[in-house]
Amino acid sequence: MKIAQNTLKNIAQLLGCDFDGNPELPVTGVNEIHVVENGDVVFVDHPKYYDKALNSKATIVIINQKVDCPEGKGLIFSEDPFRDFNSLIKFFRPFEFNTSKVASSAQIGTNCQIHSTVTLGNNVKIGNNTILFPNVVIHDNCIIGDNVIIQSNCVIGGMAFYYKNRGDHRERLNSGGRTIIQDYVEIGACSTVDKGVTGDTIIGKHTKIDNHVQIGHDTLVGEMCIIASQVGVAGCSVIGNNVTLWGQAGIPSDIKIEDNVTVMAQSGVSKSLEAGKSYFGSPAGEFREKMREMASIRQIPSIIEKLKGE
């Protein structure tokens, strides 16, 4: 999430926290660890991830432990990094509830067909020749490309499903990112694509998505993919080009499916998948290996009976 250029000192003062590092270090973004760039602020609140955050591209790290400041970086010392990071998202990308069906800031291209029941949020951009069927909702800051078809009752750009367990309640992480639907994408009825927390959820060109599909926050889906009905993709996943996910396949967060992969129906992916292979089962494995496993399992009753006879 890009912001107007700021400084380490100003960000620390905004949060009411002490800091270490050059007060004039430039701050140009607020991002999670998987999408950080130079100039970004990131947060870390568990020792397990300290090194990852401190060695990342981020310029500023909000951290709940006094540690040595890496050269060229800045540290902001916080009792609750999650809370303070959440505050930055709210400050720089505040939620604006849109009370009209089509926000005045929405931009619509030429030759579009948009049903009267469609809702377009603040700063939405719709390309040319795009079709939006009844009851489609496009939330704030989403970008829809040219020649896109979105069928009835889809929700594009909903809030990320991301919560911190506070013991007696769960605190939602604010969503300041976007959803980008590129050219020639088609999305079936009742499907949802969540916005990024600080980055972008992207659906690549010519990808086709069936009915009742969920795509989580900050997920990147490549070009020419096929995603069948009832597939669930968790947040922060990366799906390559020409990937096929058949019905009810489940994809967890923070994994990568490389190009030209097929995941068979009802498979549960548990780890990243190599390019050019087919996968089946739960946990999903290479298709032929899984078929051999199943064939072997079917022989177990006859083996047991044979052993009893001996």
pLDDT at 303: 74
Angle at 167 between CA 165 and CA 168, to 5 degrees: 110
- pTM here? 0.92
Top CATH class, 107-290: mainly beta
Q: Which residues of the chain have pLDDT under 70?
A: 309-310
Write down the pLDDT at residue 143: 98
The pLDDT of residue 97: 87
Residue 310: its pLDDT value, please? 63
3-state secondary structure 18-48: EEECCCCCEEEEECCHHHCCCCEEEEECCHH
> Hey, which residues are catalytic here?
217
Cβ contacts of residue 93 below 8 Å, gap of 6+?
1, 174, 176
Specify the amino acid at residue 202.
I
For residues 237 and 252, the answer to whether their CB atoms sit within 8 Å is yes
pLDDT at position 305 is 74
Total Cβ atoms within 10 A of residue 102: 16
Question: Cα dihedral angle (129, 130, 133, 136), rounded to 10 degrees?
Answer: -150
Residue 294 pLDDT: 80
Counting other chains too, the contacts that 43-46 makes at CB distance below 8 Å and 24 or more residues apart are 43/78, 43/81, 43/82, 43/84, 43/85, 44/81, 45/80, 45/81, 45/82
Q: Domain 2-92 carries which CATH code?
A: 3.40.1390.10
What is each CA distance from 165 to 53, 69, 82, 124, in whole angstroms?
A: 21, 29, 11, 32
Q: Do domains 2-92 and 107-290 have the same CATH topology?
A: no
Q: What is the pLDDT of residues 130-172, one digit of tens each?
A: 999 999 999 999 999 999 999 999 999 999 999 999 999 999 9
- Write down the domain spans for the chain: 2-92, 107-290
**pLDDT tens by residue, 32-56:** 998 999 999 999 999 999 999 999 9
